Structure 1
């Protein structure tokens, strides 16, 4: 019904009332906004015998028409409200494919989804970018590494504190070592740890990305985006615990230059020292049993030891036990 059909606006303003009363009394009224509004409401009609003049209509009939229209609209609105639960119920079809753990966590089912979420948030980080990468280093696409390095360098230039924790074997992998050297040159603080630690990315104490431990049969490197503040800060405290026990990258580079053992061999020796068998050590480290046997054979050859007992005797007094 035109300008007076807006919910919340008055049907009739004072000048509308005054104009209607003038028309009802038989006075001529100018073609104003007030007249246009009254025509919209069907309170007045153009006078077919006097161009430019208007005649009043019975307001009771108009009121009945308005009431009927309003009740029809109200009935339609109530019906629409009644359908809203059906829309919300579609969450049962949406959630199994997203695995929301609640308002504070979201399942990201592929590495691409993880990266597409982490990237923009990292670019927007203003205070902290912490990451823990426990995986064994492998050759990667150089362009992906270049983009990651530039993203880290940009964060450092913004004054963001960047801390990255790596597997100690990173020092023995040429591509990863070169990448970390570039990160350190850009201003990142990098440390390494020889023992297992969880993968995570922490951004500005607001966002946490972790591996998937919930959805069975999911893709490798799928994960969760956690934004619940208490969970994020708890994970940050865990990161700090590992960080405090880790070795700074420059210190490892200096010490590893003269070391007899590799980072992987030191991991194996620590397991054997703790009383685990070679088979158990392999399972605990996620290695094939033949890999453990091969590493120990190479170390025996390097030390010119005939037995594993001689290797362990040397290890018990070696300063390399302090290396990650």
Structure 2
């Protein structure tokens, strides 16, 4: 009997069925080519007394044989599937000897999914916890900040190096400023940068979390978990380059103590200095145009100047251009 295939054409074509019915009725086969298929399935056999003629066999017996063969094949398939994890486990012996990148990346479509992935990995990080947070500071639930500060302190106690990069506007936001001071007290290194930079979290040079720039129409704060070794290492290099250009939080305290401008105003002036209009500056900084107009009006008032041209002339020679 032929072995039943896992996939493929039907066991019996229409011609095969008509041939079997003819043989069962004692007539010559309807289609001679179908006889071989029926013999193979043990549905018919040659008539020993009449050469060229065939005798029909009980199809129920043939069906039972087919079912037994199919179950045996299924058992072999299930057994083979059960052994696949043993094959996959060999990756532990393969990866250390080759620069294999890893499984790649995974899209996480909601903030809840992002947090569910980031937080356990952060709690287990033993070497490094690096984060870059370019967003505008805003009032947050004090309990969330407390838990975040405790998580940072726990990482420092484990011996992990904790580095966090913030938007320089953090200095102008009282709650964020107090939170950062608590992180520094716990052992974290904090720096700020006035220029734009990408959001990212890097854990032990093994896991990278970044904003979603791929899936169109996705919800806010969706992102990607990247575990490819080359990509994570490259992101770590980018973080280091940005870190080297930023200002330590403690240095910012003395530098901005007597500053006329705020971090937001400096960011606006930098955009105008680069040749952008107020509307363009607002778009590039993620601000409302009326916010840009208000900030410039406040600065003119503080400088006792009547026009924006006077402000830009002052800015061109101001040492505050070096502040983040």
Whole-angstrom CA distance in 1 between matches of 2:260 and 2:236: 34
Whole-angstrom CA distance in 1 between matches of 2:271 and 2:67: 81
- Structure 2 matches for 1:224-243, cutoff 5 A? 224-243=224-243
- Structure 2 matches for 1:10-21, cutoff 5 A? none
Secondary structure of the 1:126 match is coil
Over 3 Å counting, the alpha-carbon distance change for 1:218 and 1:75 in structure 2 is same
Whole-angstrom CA distance in 1 between matches of 2:164 and 2:314: 32
Deviation string 1:73-127 (CA, Å, 9 cap, x unpaired) is: 523336769999xxxxxxxxxxxxxxxxx93101111101111111110110010
Whole-angstrom CA distance in 2 between matches of 1:161 and 1:80: 47
Whole-angstrom CA distance in 2 between matches of 1:310 and 1:145: 41
| 2:314 counterpart residue number | 314
| 1:214 counterpart residue number | 214
Over 3 Å counting, the alpha-carbon distance change for 1:310 and 1:150 in structure 2 is same
Secondary structure of the 2:154 match is helix
1:290 equivalenced with 2:290 (yes/no): yes
Whole-angstrom CA distance in 2 between matches of 1:194 and 1:133: 12
The gaps in structure 1 that reach 5 residues or longer are 1-67, 85-101
Deviation string 1:154-179 (CA, Å, 9 cap, x unpaired) is: 10011110000000000110110000
Whole-angstrom CA distance in 2 between matches of 1:70 and 1:241: 66
1:106 equivalenced with 2:106 (yes/no): yes
Over 3 Å counting, the alpha-carbon distance change for 1:201 and 1:310 in structure 2 is same
| 1:250 counterpart residue number | 250
Whole-angstrom CA distance in 2 between matches of 1:269 and 1:233: 34
Whole-angstrom CA distance in 2 between matches of 1:250 and 1:105: 36
- Structure 2 matches for 1:132-211, cutoff 5 A? 132-211=132-211
| 2:299 counterpart residue number | 299
Over 3 Å counting, the alpha-carbon distance change for 1:69 and 1:274 in structure 2 is closer
Whole-angstrom CA distance in 2 between matches of 1:112 and 1:256: 37
Whole-angstrom CA distance in 1 between matches of 2:77 and 2:153: 56
Over 3 Å counting, the alpha-carbon distance change for 1:83 and 1:164 in structure 2 is closer
The gaps in structure 2 that reach 5 residues or longer are 1-65, 83-101
Count, aligned residues: 241
